[in-house]
Amino acid sequence: MKVRVKRLVAILCGIVMLFNSGIGLVSHAEEILKAWEVNEYQEPVGDNVEHGIYDIPDFSGAKAATLTGCSIGISVNAEGVRGSIKTGSTVQASEIGIRDIRLEKYVDGKWVLVGSHPGGFRNNNDVYAMEVSTSSAEKGVEYRLSCYHYAYLEGEKHEVFNQTKGVSYNH
């Protein structure tokens, strides 16, 4: 009887240790993207640059309250991944911003989350821009960046999802 109890306790301890170490690995796998607010969209530079699939061109002089001039760009090199994001509107928004920024890499045929940032916003303005970055990137691995551009315009929420194509560096 004592042997069975000891085995059961040993198995339970092993399961707890395995479970705890697995959780630790998962929590450290995702990197928090460093972010800073900038005055305007900064075009990513370099040979390894991609832009948003759902970028919205700038409609200057438009009368309707809508999103405009929304863009996202990503560049990847040996120093890391850098993204630049801008949300604009045709009229002053009570709140305008960027939310749910996600950096993913392509591994074994699927996109895996490697970094995130909640985003940011500004009140009573018609533009908001920010940049995000990581301190490193893997050679030959594709990365993509996604976010939501949003604004509260005349009491109504306008929002669009945007995502870059995958981009990598090989030098």
pTM, to two decimals: 0.78
Amino acid at 113: L
pLDDT value of residue 47: 81
**pLDDT surpassing 80 at residue 151:** yes
Mean pLDDT of 62-83: 92
Query: CA of 26: how far to CAs of 87, 100, 143, in Å?
Result: 32, 19, 19
